[in-house]
Amino acid sequence: MGHAAIAVLDGGLSEWIKHGGGCTLAYAQNYPLGNFKSKFDPTRLKNASAILDNICLGKHLVIDARSED
């Protein structure tokens, strides 16, 4: 909701680590207060009807990010 520059990691945490991504169990404390302001963009939200229509139209890339569980 508001982030324009995003990326999707293909392969999950194991691929992230395999390609040199960092991982830690430690938590940093006392983060300074951030200034992010969310901005709802209704053009980025799709309902079930729009998803089903897109199966035929193919205008948008739809990524199913559900786990296998």
pLDDT, tens digit, 9 for 90 and up, residues 37-50: 888 888 888 899 99
CB-based contacts of 13, cutoff 8 Å, min separation 6: 23
Are the beta carbons of 18 and 58 closer than 8 angstroms? no
pLDDT digits (tens, 9 = 90+) for 4-49: 777 777 788 888 889 998 888 888 788 888 898 888 888 888 899 9
Give a yes or no: residue 28 inside a domain.
yes
Residue 26 falls within a domain, yes or no? yes
Instruction: Work out how many domains the chain is built from and give that number.
Output: 1
Give the domain extent around 27. Answer: 12-57
d(CA 10, CA 15) in angstroms, rounded, equals 7
Q: Within a domain: residue 69?
A: no
In a domain, 4, yes or no: no
The gap from C-alpha 27 to its chain's centroid, in whole angstroms, comes to 22
* Alpha carbon distance, N-terminus to C-terminus of the chain: 26
Establish if 3 belongs to a structural domain: no
